[in-house]
Chain A
Amino acid sequence: EIVLTQSPATLSLSPGERATLSCRASQSVSSYLVWYQQKPGQAPRLLIYDASNRATGIPARFSGSGSGTDFTLTISSLEPEDFAVYYCQQRSNWPKTFGQGTKVEIK
């Protein structure tokens, strides 16, 4: 099973600041890495697929990068609605696995 480790667990930032979230895989997942955003009481929302492709309707301030085992989700300038939990997920191998999540909170 591929283990995904997200860091940091919590990121405390102010609106307008840049957020950088990391996801590291225990073995290569090529570019088959996905990012989701989840707000309290809501289902997850697909942000980025295959490491760097924004999903439909996702603002350009969200970007993804990386390949192999190291991946990054960047939010260039935090908007109030971006404070949420972010999960990475690999779709390279079965079982499909998630990271434990990074909470982006208001400082």
Chain B
Amino acid sequence: EVQLLESGGGLVQPGGSLRLSCAASGFTFSSYDMSWVRQAPGKGLEWVSSIRSSGGNTYYADSVKGRFTISRDNSKNALYLQMNSLRAEDTALYYCAKDSSGWSNWGQGTLVTVSS
């Protein structure tokens, strides 16, 4: 069974940093592209970033480009999102998702709140 477990969320002040992690199990992690998708409270879904299976290519939404960095460690079956220069508008539930012709599996999310 595919499992994705996010961690690392919390309350941070504007301008601060957080590192999210996603622990994957139940599939061959190194064979799949992975992504982060977020959802602000009461709002719709927003794609944040994706990384190819090898880690060689990364993609970012314009809203986070230059501030967020996606990475992965295939030896640890782990996905990461380093978030710097956080803003109030980054407040959201952050999901990691496995990419297979669409995001076929999702974690339950980790909540990031940016507030002073």
**What residues make up the interface of A, taking CB atoms closer than 8 Å to B?**
1, 34, 36, 38, 43-46, 49-50, 53, 55-56, 87, 89, 91, 94-101
Contact = CB atoms under 8 A, between A and B. Distances in A.
Nearest to A95: B61
Interface of B: 35, 37, 44-47, 50, 59-62, 95, 101-109
B44 A101 contact: yes
A96 B62 CA distance: 11
Which applies to chain B's interface (DSSP): helix, strand, loop or mixed?
A: strand
A90 to B, nearest CB: 10
A95 B44 contact: no
A89 B108 contact: no
Nearest to B98: A46
B107 A43 contact: yes
Which applies to chain A's interface (DSSP): helix, strand, loop or mixed?
A: loop
Nearest to B47: A96
Given A98-B46, A101-B44, A43 B95 contact: yes
22 contacts: A1-B62, A34-B103, A36-B45, A36-B102, A36-B103, A38-B45, A43-B106, A43-B107, A46-B105, A49-B101, A50-B101, A53-B101, A55-B104, A56-B104, A89-B102, A89-B103, A95-B60, A95-B61, A95-B62, A97-B47, A98-B44, A100-B44
B102 A46 contact: yes
A57 to B, nearest CB: 11
Given A36-B45, A101-B45, 20 more contacts: A36-B102, A36-B103, A38-B45, A43-B107, A43-B109, A44-B103, A44-B106, A46-B103, A46-B105, A50-B102, A53-B101, A55-B102, A89-B102, A91-B101, A91-B102, A95-B61, A96-B47, A97-B47, A98-B45, A99-B44
A49 B102 contact: yes
Contacts of B37: 44
